[in-house]
Amino acid sequence: MLDRKYIVENVEAVKQNCANRNISVDVDRLVELELERRGKLQLVQDLNTQSNAESKKIGQAKDSDERESL
């Protein structure tokens, strides 16, 4: 089994290897899905960072009214 990163970085070599083995694989679709997955993963990480920053602000709030407004 090949690593996703290797496939994305070596698309032509993987296509050629599949052709040599008479295996039908949609490598372009796999690469497309992997890039989409990476984008969504980055979005999740950004949202988690924002959430953590907001939680920290709430934790540093002095009173309950300020916490509620945050």
Residue partners of 35: CB distance under 8 A and separation at least 6: 8
Domain with 34, as residue range(s), is 4-69
Average pLDDT on 16-21 reads 96
pLDDT bin (cut points 50, 70, 90) of residue 46 is very high
Q: Who has greater pLDDT, 67 or 40?
A: 40
d(CA 38, CA 70): 31
pLDDT bin (cut points 50, 70, 90) of residue 58 is confident
| Average pLDDT of every residue of the chain | 92
Number of domains making up the chain? 1
Residue with the two structure tokens 């050629």: 16
d(CA 43, CA 36): 11
pLDDT at 38 over 80: yes
In this predicted model, what pLDDT tens digit does every residue of 21-35 receive, in sequence order?
Answer: 999 999 999 999 999
Going from the C-alpha of 25 to that of each of 9, 13, 30, 51, the distances in angstroms are 16, 13, 9, 40
